[in-house]
Amino acid sequence: MAKRIEKHHLPQKICATCGRPFVWRKAWAKVWDEVRYCSDRCRGSKGKSANLAQLSKNL
């Protein structure tokens, strides 16, 4: 029987779009070094939040 890994022992990253932390998923096992976004929604809007941050600084 395989040992169960607790979630707090999994590697974490910070999403490049929303800035929230997300943990490793089995589907990302082979490409974990390339994963930058926590979800498809963040990946789809990858440039929008940076632009909004710059606009708010200019106001």
SS3 call for 6:
coil
Average pLDDT, integer, range 10-22 = 93
> CA distances (Å), 35 to each of 2, 6, 9, in order?
26, 21, 18
pTM of the model: 0.65
> Residue 57: what pLDDT?
53
Per-domain residue ranges for the chain?
9-58
SS3 call for 35:
coil
* Span 26-44, pLDDT tens digits: 999 999 999 999 999 999 9
Q: Are 47 and 18 in contact (CB under 8 A)?
A: no
- Banded model confidence at residue 15, pLDDT cuts 50, 70, 90: very high
Q: Are 22 and 40 in contact (CB under 8 A)?
A: no
Q: Are 10 and 24 in contact (CB under 8 A)?
A: yes
